[in-house]
Amino acid sequence: MGKKVFVNNKNITPNGPITIERAKELHQFFAERLDGLPEQPLQETIDLSRVDDIDACGCQLLALFLESMKTRGATPILAAAPAALRERIDALGFHDLLALQPEP
Amino acid sequence: MTTPSGENNSIDLNRFNQVFFEECAENLAEMEQILISLGDREPDQEQMNAIFRAAHSIKGGAGIFGFNDMTVVTHVMESLLDRLRNQEIPFAPGMIDLFLEAGDAISMQLAWHREGKPVDQEAIDGVRAKLQQTIDAGAPAPVPADAPKEGTPLSPEELLPRRCRLAFTPDPEIFARGIRMESIVAELTELAEPGEFDCHAQLMEVPEFAELDPERCLTRWDFTLLTRASREQILDVFMFVADEEQLCIEEEPVDRRTKAAEPAPEQGVIPAAGRRAYDNGETAPGAFGRRGGEIESSIRVNVTKVDQLVNQVGELLITQAMLTQIAAGLDPILHQALQRGLVQLERNTRDLQGSVMSIRLVPISIVFSRFPRLVREIAAKLGKQVELKTTGDSTELDRGLIEKIADPLGHLVRNALDHGLETPEKRVACGKNPMGTLQLSASQVGGRIVIDVTDDGAGLNRDRILAKALECGIPCSEAMSDEEVWPLIFAPGFSTASEVTDISGRGVGMDVVLKNVQGIGGRVQIASEAGKGARFTISLPLTLAILEGLSVAIGKEKFIIPLNVVIESLQPKAEQLKSVNGREVVQVRGEYLPILKLHRIFNLEAEVTEPQRGILVLVEADGERGAILVDALLDEQQVVVKSIETNYRQVEGSAGATILGDGRVALILDLPELFAMHKRL
Amino acid sequence: MQTAHGSAVEQLTAEGGAEYLTFTLGGESYGLDILKVQEIRGYDCVTRIANTPAFIKGVINLRGVIVPIVDLRIKFNMGEVTYHEFTVVIIINVLNKVVGIVVDGVSDVVALPPQSIKPAPELGASLDTRYITGLGTLNDEMLILVDIEKLIGSDELQIVDSTAENTQKEAVNL
């Protein structure tokens, strides 16, 4: 992976599973997004529509990412989580840490 | 050189899998043991629960570690057990065999994951289908499993669902270890009353994002559930997952008959017991199920670590002996303090050695427990009725020996069933109980472990053995005593079974048994009485690793005579020395003992070749006595037994070697072999 | 020993081919796959083992492990055999066994490119052709490359207990 990727997407859109197997890769992905936050960020949407699986490690990573965004003044919003993903996040007890936007 | 810690820089999943494999094997063994003990009887509630728990633990562990194939059979098995337990399906004797079969299927899957052994998928599917059929055939209209039914005895816990709070602070490696929190959550959900489960994750810290390790667990979980499951059942969910300090259970008993929501006044916070800790019978089947509320104060340690410790203590012993040897040459007055220190060092070393050796000791029940099933199956195959009795199950012996004694013992057991015990008809005709008895007993006699395999069958057939020996060209004669005839069956290629069976096989056997037993410093003796039965006695050294020995000098060489064979030593007077049939003997208290001249047996240059000028060490092994001629006695010492065969072939007349204080190798004498070599001279 | 090590490092950079430890036996130069060599040490403190062929000198204590010592000079009838402070033992590790072999002297570690290795002729060396993988040439000198694994495993040397292995196999088949 090169230096910094072009980051301007208002939506942060992870793709595929968010699991232990990809933890390192996603960590870097999120870290870059964090670096790419504007000076005075407002609402940042994390689009989960393309995430097809998540495990406890992934939930934790996502939660840590959200917390880090908040400390930088951003208001992260988790959006468009598929139903299965919602269930999994709930089951793993991350319903508070990963407050999902209500289904449209 | 590899160090045990050096290899684990990266997180080694395998290491954790290993724990699961071991525990899975133990669960299977426990299950099997219970099933076998049942015969065709219906298991009682406790046994049923134990079987259920074993199956459940395997399923849980398999799910957590991602061995999903292993959950399939266990799941159906668990369902059937559950129905049985709740008396929704009546018990049928055939179920025991079905469960045993299921156990085999799971073992096979385990072997596949563990050692890459092939799996017979058809067999597995077959068992699964049979289990499912049994469920379907026996199931009346499905009753909600949770509802307590009339007439079903319920334990107090089951009567009172209570609210449990469970705080789980996992170790940071839990993700990397491949533990699936999803499985844990799912299992807990199953234990909870419907809809009465809540799971809440919390971050314990939020480090600087760029610097955090994404695989490290920074989350803790709080679970709240209304459950009828026992505390133990709940803890079982975490069996492969959590250590003692990582779990905290808070229970609030709720009396449904009074007010459901109100917590009872007394409530305690009890730290959960460790999940990887078992009592010291850790490898014994059944030990796993004995957990209960006992305080567990033991740890599970890899055998290689123990062996390493044993080796290191061995080296320490050698160093200590070397220091003592050097100090012996110093002026005792000038070096009084040093000498005192060395005496202390010697004592400490011995103590340490004793403690370390005791770690390696395990009960023989590990081996004995394999036989009930074997006996049951073979007896059924042969149409014989056999009762297996075991005594001395708790006799402890070296772990290394345990592994090596299992095969020879198994062979003797098969042999007794196949050739020794008669069919019920024959037994009745002889006026015996149609049910034959096979007894396995173990005990410690002095420095040795003695294991007997006794049957009350027909005994060895002297005439057939002699005839067969003749046929095989083994030297023998009618004039031989029984004691001389029996060992003929140990000759290679010998077999008296009139037909070759798939149980005892063809001829390969008793010679291998003998060789294997001898390979670990053991002996086999046979006693037999026609029509009454036979007894095979295996005697083994207590441990392979350390030996009390007498070091002796012959010329420039030093040898170790195991102390347990030494009776005494003496300087013979001329009138004690006689010659019988051209062989030199020494007369001791009216007994004539052959003189074994080691320098002749071993072709050495000795200083002393005439007995009256040297020292005779009187020894007795396997009922045979003799006097070994040596130049001088050097020392009585504990020696660490090293295998010569690791890098070289077996050396006749020696039972291994050791390293002396001066760093040289000395051979340890094997007396029975020496007697044999002496006779050939 | 020192020289052997020093040049080993130099030669490590040589391109391609396998590396051989060269040693002398009765005036002939031999080469041994360096990967099979564990260490080189002096001849010392050998404990005799009774009733073994003369070329089995006995066993030594190699840091707590019992290791047999074979004198190849005796085995292959290579003149006068003496033991002194310069007698060299090559400790080799093959077939899961650690064995020491006594030779006249250890010379060097060399890298031989595969093309410089020729098949062994039917006769010539004191060593049976069965135990020779090929002949190498080094500075116009012939190097006999020993198949040490085959040699150590051979019935001739009687180091590996073939009967014991057979019994073990039988035991497994039971």
Mean residue pLDDT of chain B comes to 78
Closest-CA residue to B611 (of B579, B634, B636, B589): B579
Q: Which residues pair with B639 in a beta bridge?
A: B547
Question: How many angstroms separate the CA atoms of B440 and B391, rounded?
Answer: 6
User: From the list B515, B601, B657, which residue is nearest C59 (CB)?
Assistant: B657
3-state class of C78 per DSSP? coil
Top-confidence residue, B291 or B296:
B296
Q: Quick check: B4 pLDDT over 70?
A: no
Closest to B100 (Cα-Cα) out of B13, B16, B36, B55: B36
Task: Write out chain B residues lying below 8 Å of C65, CB-based.
Answer: 642, 646-647
The pLDDT score that the predictor gives to residue C25 is 83
Task: Please give the tally of structural domains in chain C.
Answer: 1
Whether B201 and A71 lie within 8 Å, measured CB to CB: no
Instruction: Pick B175's closest partner by Cβ from A34, A57, A91.
Output: A57
Q: Which SS3 state, helix, strand or coil, does residue B83 take?
A: helix
Closest residue of chain A to B173, computed from CA coordinates = A57
Cβ-Cβ contacts under 8 Å, B178 against chain A: 20
Secondary structure of residue B246 in the 3-state scheme: helix
Nearest chain C CA: its distance from B649 CA (Å): 5
Site of tokens 């009256």:
B612
A66 is a domain residue: yes
Q: Looking at the domain assignment, is residue A100 inside a domain? A: no
Question: Any CB–CB contact under 8 A between A4 and chain B?
Answer: no
Quickly state the pLDDT bin for B268 (edges 50, 70, 90).
very low
CB contact under 8 A, C66 and B509: no
The CATH H-level (homologous superfamily) assignment of domain B364-541 is Histidine kinase-like ATPase, C-terminal domain (3.30.565.10)
Question: A64 — contact with chain B (CB < 8 Å)?
Answer: yes
- Residue in B181, B210, B217 nearest the CB of A31: B210
What pLDDT shows up at residue A80? Answer: 81
Cβ contacts of C167 on chain B, cutoff 8 Å = 512, 515
Measured between CA atoms, the residue of chain C closest to residue B598 is C50
Residues of chain B with pLDDT > 90, as a percent, come to 6
Contact between chains at B648 and C64 (C-beta distance less than 8 A): no
User: What's the total number of domains in chain A?
Assistant: 1
Treating both helix axes as pointing N-terminal to C-terminal, what angle do B13-38 and B371-382 enclose, rounded to 10 degrees?
50
Residue B235: in which H helix or E strand, if any? helix B231-237
Whether residue C18 has pLDDT greater than 90: no
Alpha-carbon gap: B666 to the closest alpha carbon of chain C (Å): 7
Share of chain A above pLDDT 90, in %: 13
The nearest alpha carbon in chain C to B647 belongs to C97
Strand intervals (E) in chain C:
18-25, 28-33, 37-42, 56-62, 65-71, 88-94, 97-103, 105-112, 117-118, 132-138, 141-146
The answer to whether the CB atoms of B645 and C161 lie below 8 A apart is yes
DSSP-based three-state secondary structure for A47 = strand
At which residue do the structure tokens 């997180």 appear? B11
**b/e for C112-128, b at 16 or more Cβ within 10 A?**
beeeebeebeeeebbbe
| A59 domain-assigned | yes
CB contact under 8 A, C66 and B647: yes
Residues on chain B bordering chain A, Cβ-to-Cβ distance under 8 angstroms = 175-176, 178, 180-182, 185-186, 189, 198-203, 206-210, 212, 214-215, 217-219, 221-223
| Tokens coding A48 | 């989960």
Q: C159 CA to chain B: closest CA distance, Å?
A: 5
User: Could you tell me the residue range of the domain that residue A75 belongs to?
Assistant: 11-91
Of all residues in chain A, the one with the smallest CA distance to B224 is A93
Which CATH number applies to B546-680? 2.40.50.180
Q: Assess if residue A6 is contained within a domain.
A: no
- With respect to residue A57, please indicate whether it lies within any of the assigned structural domains: yes
Strands (E), B191-311: 192-203, 219-227, 247-252, 268-271
- DSSP codes of every residue in B395-448: -EEEHHHHHHHHHHHHHHHHHIIIIISPPHHHHHHTT--SEEEEEEEEEEETTE
Dihedral sign from CA coordinates of B587, B589, B592, B594:
negative
Assign a CATH topology to domain B156-290: Alpha-Beta Plaits (3.30.70)
**What whole-number distance in Å separates Cα of residue A62 and Cα of residue A54?**
10
Using CA atoms, how far residue B345 sits from A49, B324, B335, C71, in Å, is 71, 10, 15, 40
Q: Which residues of B146-161 are buried (b: 16+ CB within 10 A; e: fewer)?
A: eeeeeeeeeeebeeeb
CATH number for region B10-138: 1.20.120.160
Q: Would you put residue C79 in left (φ > 0), alpha (ψ -120 to 50) or beta?
A: left
Q: Could you write out the DSSP letters of every residue in B580-621?
A: ETTEEEEEETTEEEEEEEHHHHTT---S--SGGGSEEEEEEE
Mutate to test the interface with B, among C44, C52, C59, C93 (most CBs of B within 10 A): C59
Selecting from C58, C60, C161 the residue whose C-beta is nearest the C-beta of B649 gives: C161
Q: Classify residue A104: in a domain, yes or no.
A: no
Chain B residue at shortest CA distance from C160: B649
Given this model, what pLDDT does residue B579 score? 82
- Residue whose C-alpha is closest to residue B570's, from B548, B586, B590: B586
Q: Residues of C18-40 as b/e, b for ≥16 C-beta within 10 angstroms? A: bbbbbbebbebbbbbbbebbbeb
Question: In the predicted model, is pLDDT for residue B640 greater than 70?
Answer: yes
Q: Is residue A101 part of a domain?
A: no
B625: tokens are 């006595």
Q: What domain range includes position C27? A: 2-173
Chains B and C touch (3+ CB pairs under 8 A): yes
Distance CA A58, CA B205 (A): 16
The contacts of residue C63 (CB under 8 Å, 6+ apart) are: none
B648 touching C, CB under 8 A? yes
- B413 interfaces chain C, CB cutoff of 8 Å: no
The nearest CA of chain A is from the CA of B314 a distance in Å of 45
For residue B638, what are the β-bridge partners? B548
Residue B419 φ/ψ region, left for φ over 0, alpha for ψ in the -120 to 50 degree band, beta for the rest: alpha
pLDDT at B440: 93
Q: Which of C51, C65, C174 lies closest to B512 in CB terms? A: C174
pLDDT bucket at A60, cuts 50 / 70 / 90: very high
CB contact under 8 A, B648 and C59: yes
Nearest CA in chain C to B658: C66
Report strand pairing: B162-168 vs B192-203.
Answer: unpaired
Q: Which pLDDT belongs to residue B439?
A: 93
- CA nearest to B494, candidates B485, B502, B503: B485
Taking the C-alpha atoms of residue B270 and residue B543, their distance in angstroms, rounded to an integer, is: 41
Q: Is the pLDDT of residue B10 over 60?
A: no
Which residue of chain A is at minimal alpha-carbon distance from B176? A20
Q: Give the burial class of C10: count Cβ atoms within 10 A of its Cβ; 0-12 exposed, 13-18 middle, 19 or more buried.
A: exposed
How near does any CA of chain B get to the CA of A104, in Å? 25
| Domain assignment of residue A1, yes or no | no
Q: Which of B178, B206, B217 is the closest to A67 by Cβ?
A: B206
Query: Among residues B362, B274, B413, B369, which one has the least CA distance to residue B31?
Result: B369
Task: Tell me the pLDDT band of C173, cut-offs 50, 70 and 90.
Answer: very low
Of B411, B515, B659, the CB nearest to C61: B659
Option in A55, A64, A93 nearest B199 (CB) = A93
> Using only C-alpha atoms, what is the Rg of chain C?
17
**Three-class SS state of A89:** helix
CATH of the domain at A28: 3.30.750.24
Confidence of residue C15 (pLDDT cuts 50, 70, 90): very low
Per the CB < 8 Å rule, is B512 touching C171? yes
Confidence of residue B101 (pLDDT cuts 50, 70, 90): confident
Segment B163-208, tens digit of pLDDT: 888 888 888 888 888 888 888 888 888 888 888 888 889 888 888 8
B271 pLDDT more than 60:
no
- φ and ψ of C10, to 5 deg: -60, -45
User: What is the model's pLDDT at position C70?
Assistant: 92
| Residue found under tokens 């066993």 | C59
B198 residue type, one letter: D
Min mean pLDDT across B118-132, B592-606, C110-124 is at: C110-124
Q: What pLDDT does B408 receive?
A: 87
- State mean pLDDT over B7-34: 70
Residue of B nearest to C62 (CA): B663
CB-based contact, A88 to chain B, within 8 Å: yes
pLDDT digits (tens, 9 = 90+) for B651-662: 888 878 888 877
Residue type, B645: E
Contact A/C (≥3 CB pairs under 8 Å): no
CATH of the domain at C70: 2.40.50.180
Contact B201 A92 (CB under 8 A): yes
Contact B202 A61 (CB under 8 A): no
What stretch of H or E contains B346?
Answer: helix B336-360
Show residues of chain A in contact with B223, CB under 8 Å: 93
CB contact under 8 A, A60 and B181: no
Preferred mutation among B209, B216, B218 to probe A, highest tally of A CBs within 10 A: B209
Element (H, E) at B351: helix B336-360
**Looking at beta carbons, which residues of chain B come within 8 Å of A30?**
209
